[in-house]
């Protein structure tokens, strides 16, 4: 006390003002970094289907409540008349080179197949915040995919590991000496945070059987790897008389294994009498999971719409995006097809969020639960005249379309093409109007909210 008494009054006044200013600053600090206000929240994991506000703090979901005051957030985005959902999950996507050699285009290359992978972050344009590479790489090529794509993408990237050690597009998918179940399992165990399962695909679809190429070789070795590593297997399969579709889904596949491309042309989904194959219900009852995996060659309305009308809807919706189809297929496009076939929006969201999260054993994803990563999709449901195509170059007319308006990954706004979160340029802060004097100068921006 005596020190305060001896201190000059001017200094005491300055300290008092500084202290008051500090207290005021703390009091005025926003409670949330971001507030999405007035949107219709659909979060199947938490049984939410109503208008609520969603608040984000430090990259995590902080609150989902009605009427959160706008003054509690540093940035407020009006999402009224839009749908707010967990970030979408696409469990069939292709990134990286896989088995394709870097000189795939050169005459001396082992194979001349174009690498399947497309940029991972293209998925953000559909509200997708997590993608799962569907076996582009195998045990020998996964590290390249990790360093080339997974470690650098803004979207979250996980992977199914191909049972073929070289991966896809390398010309070795028919080589049984490439299908080493132990090597596959050891690689999965080395990267448990990134690799969610095993993938088998493209094995011996038409050649004559011989001593090496026996009907179930790739399937059996993938299952062996999945059993050793305790992970699910995703099957891309072509039935033949010696390996029937029914045997795959009723005898070979284990509970929790995933049948992708379910509506592809080669599967007897619809019988001659127009009724759905009862094997699908029997397989589902024993725990087999059905995935869309649309792609450029795996979705026919003649299977999909007739199955949907009889009550069969795949457990998860996915794209099979790769270099051969990214101009015509997207997650929003595939989801819209199911809306057009009559599947309710909340069910489509379920099969694009919490269901795939469960299938890959990542329950922390596909939800807006408080404390989880703020992975969020803001979607608009459009009404009008639209048409959709299938892999058999047939079309279906519809009056509904789903479109992503904004994608948030871990609290960062990574896709906002219409400027939902932005201010009108005339009302931007002064820094926006500055002219930089050097190339390395900070960009003239209307705000500092993290978007990169």
Cα–chain center distance at 306: 27
Structure tokens at 102: 């870097």
Q: Is the pLDDT of residue 21 over 60?
A: no
Of 2-11, 73-82, 240-249, least confident by mean pLDDT is 2-11
How confident is the model over 262-317, as pLDDT tens digits? 999 999 999 999 999 999 999 999 999 999 999 999 999 999 999 999 999 999 99
Q: Quick one: pLDDT at residue 442?
A: 80
- CA atoms of 185 and 188, how far apart (whole Å): 5
Reported confidence tier of residue 29, pLDDT bands at 50, 70, 90 = confident
Element (H, E) at 172: none
What is the CB-side half-sphere exposure of residue 301 using CA atoms within 13 A? 15
Q: Quick one: pLDDT at residue 438?
A: 77
How confident is the model over 180-190, as pLDDT tens digits? 999 999 999 99
How confident is the model over 218-271, as pLDDT tens digits? 999 999 999 999 999 999 999 999 999 999 999 999 999 999 999 999 999 999
Cα–chain center distance at 194: 14
Q: Is the pLDDT of residue 6 over 60?
A: no
How confident is the model over 125-175, as pLDDT tens digits? 999 999 999 999 999 999 999 999 999 999 999 999 999 999 999 999 999
Averaged pLDDT, 391-401: 97
Averaged pLDDT, 20-43: 79
Averaged pLDDT, 183-198: 98
List b or e across 227-239, with b for residues whose CB sees 16 or more CB atoms inside 10 angstroms: ebbebbbbbbbbb
Q: Is the pLDDT of residue 354 over 70?
A: yes
To the nearest 10°, report the CA torsion of 111, 114, 115, 116: -130
Q: Is the pLDDT of residue 5 over 50?
A: no
What is the CB-side half-sphere exposure of residue 107 using CA atoms within 13 A? 0
Count of beta carbons in the 10 Å neighbourhood of residue 381: 15
- CA atoms of 444 and 438, how far apart (whole Å): 12
List b or e across 254-280, with b for residues whose CB sees 16 or more CB atoms inside 10 angstroms: eebbbbbbbbbebbebbeeeeebbebb
Averaged pLDDT, 339-352: 98
Q: Quick one: pLDDT at residue 2?
A: 47
Structure tokens at 209: 């059987």
- CA atoms of 43 and 87, how far apart (whole Å): 10
Question: ∠ at Cα 339 (325, 268), nearest 5°?
Answer: 65
Q: Quick one: pLDDT at residue 8?
A: 52
Beta-bridge partners for 189: none
Q: Quick one: pLDDT at residue 437?
A: 81
What DSSP string runs through 103-161?
Answer: TTTSTTSS--PPP----GGGGGGGTEEEEEEEEEEETTTHHHHIIIIITT-SSEEEEEE
Q: Is the pLDDT of residue 373 over 50?
A: yes
Structural domains in the chain?
87-371+382-402 (3.20.20.140)
Q: Is the pLDDT of residue 393 over 70?
A: yes
């Amino acid at each position: 006390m005596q020190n305060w008494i001896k201190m000059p009054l001017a200094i005491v006044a300055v300290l008092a003002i500084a202290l008051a200013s500090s207290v005021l600053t703390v009091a005025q600090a926003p409670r949330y970094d971001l507030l999405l206000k007035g949107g219709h929240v659909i979060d199947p994991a938490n049984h939410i289907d109503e208008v609520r506000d969603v608040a984000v703090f430090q990259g995590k979901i902080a609150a989902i409540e009605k009427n959160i005051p706008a003054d509690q957030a540093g940035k407020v985005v009006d999402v009224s008349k839009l749908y707010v959902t967990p970030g979408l999950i696409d469990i069939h996507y292709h990134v990286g080179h896989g088995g394709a050699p870097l000189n795939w285009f050169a005459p001396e290359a082992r194979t001349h197949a174009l690498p399947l992978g497309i940029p991972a972050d293209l998925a953000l344009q559909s509200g997708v915040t997590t993608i799962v590479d569907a076996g582009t790489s195998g045990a020998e090529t996964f590290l390249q995919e990790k360093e080339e794509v997974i470690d650098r993408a803004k979207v979250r990237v996980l992977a199914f590991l191909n049972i073929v050690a070289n991966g896809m597009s390398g010309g070795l998918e028919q080589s049984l000496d490439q299908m080493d179940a132990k090597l596959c399992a050891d690689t999965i165990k080395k990267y448990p945070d990134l690799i969610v399962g095993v993938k088998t695909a493209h094995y011996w679809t038409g050649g004559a059987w011989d001593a090496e190429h026996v009907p179930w070789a790739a399937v059996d070795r993938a299952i062996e790897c999945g059993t050793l590593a305790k992970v699910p297997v995703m099957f891309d399969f072509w039935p033949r008389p010696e390996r029937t579709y029914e045997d795959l889904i009723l005898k070979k596949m284990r509970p929790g294994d995933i049948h992708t491309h379910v509506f592809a042309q080669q599967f007897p989904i619809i019988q001659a009498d127009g009724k759905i194959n009862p094997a699908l219900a029997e397989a589902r009852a024993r725990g087999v999971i059905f995935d869309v995996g649309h792609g450029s060659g795996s979705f026919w309305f003649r299977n999909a719409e007739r199955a949907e009308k009889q009550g069969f809807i795949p457990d998860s919706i996915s794209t099979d995006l790769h270099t051969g189809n990214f101009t015509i297929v997207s997650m929003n496009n595939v989801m819209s097809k199911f809306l057009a076939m009559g599947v309710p929006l909340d069910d489509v969201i379920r099969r694009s969020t919490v269901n795939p999260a469960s299938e890959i054993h990542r329950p922390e994803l596909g939800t807006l639960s408080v404390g989880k990563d703020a992975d969020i999709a803001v979607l608009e449901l459009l009404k009008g005249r639209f048409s959709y195509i299938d892999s058999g170059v047939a079309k279906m007319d519809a009056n509904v379309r789903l479109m992503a308006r904004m994608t948030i990954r871990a609290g960062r706004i990574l896709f906002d093409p219409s400027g939902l979160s932005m201010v009108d340029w005339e009302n931007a802060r002064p820094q926006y109007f500055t002219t930089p004097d050097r190339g390395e100068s900070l960009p003239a921006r209307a705000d500092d909210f993290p978007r990169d």
